Amino acid sequence: MPVVEALLDDIDPLVRQVAEYASAKASGREAPMPKITEIVEQLGRFGIFEGLGSREMYAVASIARAESLRAGDVLLRAGEANASLFLILSGKITIFRDYGTPDQKEARSAEGGGYVNFAPMFDNLPPQNTSVVVEDSEVLVLPQSHFHEIVRVYPHIALNMLRVTALAFRKMGLSV
């Protein structure tokens, strides 16, 4: 308990929130789960974060923003800058090539546990395709600038994401 009590006065509000929760639980009191802990649990559902330690997960959670999206919303437009990564908690988002033209084709769909806009997070180029919300969705948004700051402190996050991506390429039969 002395460690938890020392963290009750931490300068970081997220650390204080978790310490207050731990203190209450240790004292047998009911306490709401800290929001950041809930976000860490949600992040754990995504394969791209598999294998990360708690420090890395809490770092990513500290920059994640929850958003509700409505069916019919255009989340990302081809060619328009948006380097945020969108992690889908629930709902469905479909990615289209040549959206809104006679040549429109569905490239893929992503649902709970999936994500969209992975490449622009790292290559600094606008999305090549348009992403449309086809079912009301709940997402976590990781803004690129904040994510890159976290990765500078915890490079293991990026290495882990590269490992997961490389495994996905292998699964598709690609060794690029």
Report the CATH number at residue 113.
Answer: 2.60.120.10
122 occurs within a structural domain: yes
In a domain, 51, yes or no: no
**DSSP string covering 28-97:** T---PPPHHHHHHHHHTTSGGGTT--HHHHHHHHTT-EEEEE-TT-EEE-TTS----EEEEEEEEEEEEE
pLDDT in tens, 86-98: 999 999 999 999 9
Q: Is residue 157 part of a domain?
A: no
- Is 109 among the domain residues? yes
| 11 occurs within a structural domain | no
Q: Say how many domains are in the chain.
A: 1
Confirm whether 63 is domain-assigned: no
The answer to the question of residue 112 being in a domain is: yes
- Domain span at 125: 70-139
Assign 1 a pLDDT band (cuts: 50, 70, 90): low
Average pLDDT, the chain: 89
Low-confidence winner among 1-15, 110-124, 131-145 (lowest mean pLDDT): 1-15
Flag whether 64 is in a domain: no
Check pLDDT > 80 for residue 60: yes
Which amino acid is it at 35?
K
Higher per-residue confidence, 103 vs 10? 103
